[in-house]
Amino acid sequence: MSAGQLSTTRPTLTRRIARILARWPRIRVASLLAAPVGWLVVFYLGSLAVLFAAAFWHYDANITFTITKTFSFENFVALISDPVYRSIAGRTVMIAALVNITDAVLAFPIAFVMGKLAGPKLRSVLGVLVLMPLWTSYLVKILAWRLILSDGGVLNWLLKPLHLSGPGFGEVAVYLVLSYIWLPYMILPLAAGFERVPTSLLEASTDLGARTWHTFRSVVLPLVFPALVAGSIFTFSLTLGDYIAVSQVSSTQFIGSVIYDNLGVVGDLPLAAAFATVPVLVMVVYLLLARRAGAFEAL
Amino acid sequence: MQLSRRLRVVLVGSTGCLLVVIYVPILLIVLYAFNPSKSQKWPVTGLTLQWIQAAIGNPGARSALVLSVQVGLIATGIALVLGSLLAAAVHRYHFFGRNVVSFLVILPVAFPGIVTGIALNTTFRTLFGGLSLFTLIVGHATFCVVTVYNNVIARMRRTPGSLVEASADLGADPLQTFRFVTLPVIRSALIAGALLAFALSFDEIIVTTFTAGFNETLPIWIVANLSRPNQLPIVNAVALGVIIASAIPVYLAQRVASDAAGYG
């Protein structure tokens, strides 16, 4: 670009617009925000609002099989009073919590190596090695675990000489598969968290006489805790909403399975909408707690 | 913190073991794509290209692939525009509700996909007369925005704002500043964000199931065929293709912007 190009002061249209924008920063911000915020508010928040409203509608399951847009708490009453739904919700949250803890424990050593032990070259190699499986298709990973856990699959073949057999398809399989699938989502934020821990603090702790375990517990752990929570937002939320892995490696039911069946097979949209408020509520509480733990700065 | 030799060995050793556990299932799919036997039992009985040829010739898989690529490209385009506008606003200005906006953009991935899916499904079916290609693209674009946003804002945070000010001081109008200063600075972040958004859209299944209507993307084709034992060898071969197809954009994104972590 030549200097002459920049020094022209002809009042072109863009320049006139520029002058208006320079005078009113609010217009500047609004013109940037209009499209993206409009999109998210209309399509995303708007849809969530409709979903929430639909949770109070009525579905006639006996005669007409149609939905009427009335207002009642009948869907919530049905969900709370039926022990089947309670146990499904409990099981979903329970397995999500277990997956969360498992991934946190599994991610610690590799994240520590990535964030603190490895040199820059090894660090970027490990980064790619973790990033690749994160982006590998969710369905491909489920397919792979079906091959591993099925009757004539790899696991049973490996265990046969020991006169053992694998867990087969069921709740344990769901737990294993979901822990596997969401693990990279925990490793990456945690590794970034370790990387942000200043090495000088660790040295200071050692100089002051703390043993490795002591330093880990009182210096490292509090510092990486926000990163741990950041990673857990993904592992927890993704497990909470799953129904495809659940249906492929078990015949058990998750909140997602009930939503899917009611929407597709049964056609009871209001009940599905009411049940969908459970993961929303759980996640809202989780996100609020996560924000207090400083996880959003670690995302 | 001084690590004893033993602890170091344990840490490095468990890192290696974990990577093996992460990669074995993926390599298993690669192997099964070449398995001649229709039964899905281990061990595989040999190696053949038969199913890969069958997958390439499968009309259902082919049209699903074409649709997935189309949806991915359009959704990525929308996400590129929306994500970078949002990143520019949040990075450069302090406005009322700034925290709310930066929170709003991550909600579609922080909330379970099934919530986004059923919310869009309910809205489109009850208020907008049903599901179509349009609703599918809206669904995909909505969760892709955050990927572009994350990449672009990370880049902007590392770029001194004085560059833009200097450009204005030297007499450039906003369009020139954008073209000669801002764009070159964020270009690789845009490319990385776009590649990741495409990869995200290409693999997505849950929001897709709820917004696609009768449209069949590749993930929907895979799920439909998982329940047909006869089709499983072809599904394995398609899965190999999907592994390669998602590895390429991610690898490229990594090369383009080595700092683009971009998860979620």
| Residue A63: inside a domain | no
- What is the rounded average pLDDT of the residues A248-277? 88
Q: Residues A254, A182: one domain? A: yes
| Residue A73: inside a domain | no
Q: What is the pLDDT of residue A279?
A: 92
The rounded percent of chain B whose pLDDT value lies above 90 is 45
Distance of CA A288 to the CA centre of its chain: 15
Q: What is the pLDDT of residue B227?
A: 86
Q: Residues A134, A193: one domain? A: yes
Here the tokens at position B224 are 């439909």
Q: What is the pLDDT of residue A11?
A: 67
d(CA A94, CA A240): 9
Q: Residues A211, A89: one domain? A: yes
Q: Residues A123, A34: one domain? A: no
| Residue B244: inside a domain | yes
pLDDT of A148 > 60? The answer is yes
A249 neighbourhood in chain B, CB within 8 Å: none
| Residue A69: inside a domain | no
A99 part of contact set with chain B, CB < 8 Å: no
- What is the rounded average pLDDT of the residues B245-252? 85
Per-residue confidence band for B68, with pLDDT thresholds at 50, 70 and 90? very high
| Residue B123: inside a domain | yes
The residue that leads in pLDDT, A275 or B168, is A275
pLDDT of A265 > 80? The answer is no
d(CA A155, CA A166): 6
| Residue A74: inside a domain | no
pLDDT tens-digit readout, B11-35: 999 999 999 999 999 999 999 989 8
Q: Residues A191, A239: one domain? A: yes
| Residue B146: inside a domain | yes
A1 part of contact set with chain B, CB < 8 Å: yes
Q: Which domain holds residue B233?
A: 59-256
Collect all residues with Cβ–Cβ distance below 8 Å to B227 and sequence separation of at least 6.
none
| Residue A175: inside a domain | yes
Per-residue confidence band for A2, with pLDDT thresholds at 50, 70 and 90? very low
Here the tokens at position B39 are 């039964």
- What is the rounded average pLDDT of the residues A18-39? 84
The residue that leads in pLDDT, B50 or B86, is B86
- What is the rounded average pLDDT of the residues A223-247? 92
- What is the rounded average pLDDT of the residues B53-78? 93
pLDDT of B73 > 90? The answer is yes
Q: Residues A116, A27: one domain? A: no
pLDDT tens-digit readout, A119-140: 888 888 898 899 888 888 899 9
- What is the rounded average pLDDT of the residues B28-51? 85
Q: Residues A43, A163: one domain? A: no
Q: Residues A29, A161: one domain? A: no
Residue A61, min C-alpha distance to chain B (Å) = 18
Structural domains counted in chain A: 2
| Residue B21: inside a domain | no
The residue that leads in pLDDT, B27 or B254, is B27
| Residue A66: inside a domain | no
Q: Residues A39, A109: one domain? A: no
**Average of per-residue pLDDT values in chain B:** 88
Q: What is the pLDDT of residue A224?
A: 92
Here the tokens at position A109 are 């050593």
- What is the rounded average pLDDT of the residues B254-258? 74
Per-window interface: A 25-44 vs B, CB < 8 A: 25-26, 28-29, 32-33, 35-37, 39-41, 43-44
Q: Which domain holds residue A160?
A: 81-298
Domain containing B159 — which CATH number?
A: 1.10.3720.10
Q: What is the pLDDT of residue B66?
A: 95
pLDDT of A203 > 70? The answer is yes
Structural domains counted in chain B: 1
| B14, B173, B235 member nearest A18 (Cβ) | B173
| Residue B148: inside a domain | yes
Q: What is the pLDDT of residue B44?
A: 82
| 3-state secondary structure at position B196 | helix
| A&B contacts, CB < 8 Å | 283
Q: What is the pLDDT of residue B263?
A: 36
pLDDT tens-digit readout, B175-220: 888 888 888 888 888 998 999 899 899 999 999 999 998 899 999 9
Domain containing A95 — which CATH number?
A: 1.10.3720.10
| Residue B206: inside a domain | yes
Per-residue confidence band for A102, with pLDDT thresholds at 50, 70 and 90? very high
Q: What is the pLDDT of residue B262?
A: 40
| Residue A282: inside a domain | yes
pLDDT of A245 > 90? The answer is yes
Peptide bond into A83 cis (omega under 30): no
Burial of A52 (0-12, 13-18, 19+ CB in 10 A): middle
